[in-house]
Structure 1
Amino acid sequence: MDEIDGVEVITFLDAEAFENWLAEHCTRHEGVWIKMAKKKSGIPTVTDDEVVDIGLCYGWISGQRRSFDEQYYLQKYVPRRPKSLWSQVNVDKVAMLTASGRMREPGLAEVRKAQEDVQGRGPTNRRRRRRSRPISRRRSTRTPRP
């Protein structure tokens, strides 16, 4: 079994394999590194779009991405942290997944927690907070890394 920093690295051949694994392991706090084939490699693996949707169904989100080799990269998936912000893209995806009946109880529980959190402190808008930062601290004005 391959690991990086104590987190298991797994290759899933298709979406069904990842969903079956996640159904059994959705309570793992450390998450998992998914070894995914690059598009140009021609190697069959689960796709990024598939793992995003399946992850949301179980309350997981993507984290770090790392290069692996010429044919693969690694994408870390972890359970959503308490009180983490939801992007509008993920809110929309969850609405679509809910309407199609794909959401599972762990994912629905995360949605309920997020809704309770928003009701308790009022809605937040990432864009408003970013725009309120001084221009010198905005990410878009920083010098790109070499």
Structure 2
Amino acid sequence: MTTENKIKYFENREDWRKWLMDNFETSCEIWFVFPYKSSGKKGILYNDAVEEALCFDWIDSTTKPLDKDHKIQRFTPRNPKSTYSQANKERLK
């Protein structure tokens, strides 16, 4: 896996899925840009992003503020030895 530290904005769920299809085996992380609800900016919904990630056995973790309108959330491949969170177990049903 590469060790890049990418911050990326996706306009729609399909673009996120395409990135995952192209990169899930070679990337070790991505920092996904989400707009704050209060910003009024468009973006993929958190739950939709997590559902797509789970299809490729990727999970979300750390969140950090990016600017006044956006936050970034880290997505990485799930460690095969780890267990899914309860929320992700529900999403996978």
Q: Same fold (TM over 0.5)?
A: yes
User: Do structure 1's residue 50 and structure 2's residue 48 form an aligned pair?
Assistant: yes
CA distance in 1, matches of 2:7, 2:23: 14
Equivalence for 1:38: 36
Q: Distance in 1 between matches of 2:11 and 2:48?
A: 12
Which one has the largest radius of gyration? 1
Aligned length: 91
Separation of aligned partners in 2, 1:45 and 1:6: 23
| Local SS of the residue matching 2:50 | helix
Contact 1:14 1:44 in 2 (8 A): no
Match of 2:79 among 56, 78, 81: 81
Question: Does 1:68 pair with 2:71?
Answer: no
Q: What secondary structure does 1:16 align onto? A: helix
- Greater strand share, structure number: 2
Runs of 4+ aligned structure 1 residues displaced above 4 Å come to none
* Structure 1, 80-89 or 47-56: larger mean CA deviation: 80-89
Out of 46, 52, 57, the position equivalent to 1:59 is 57
Q: What residue in structure 1 maps to residue 88 of structure 2?
A: 90
Q: Which runs of 5+ in 1 are unaligned?
A: 96-146
CA RMSD, Structure 1 to Structure 2 (Å) = 1.5
Structure with the bigger percentage of helix:
1
The DSSP-based 3-state class of the residue aligned with 2:25 is coil
| 1:78-131: CA deviation from partner (whole Å, max 9, x where unpaired) | 000121121222122112xxxxxxxxxxxxxxxxxxxxxxxxxxxxxxxxxxxx
Offset at 1:46? 1.2
Higher RCO (CA 8 Å, separation ≥ 6 residues): 2
One-letter code of the match for 1:75? Q
Please, what TM-score do these two structures have when normalized by structure 2?
0.89
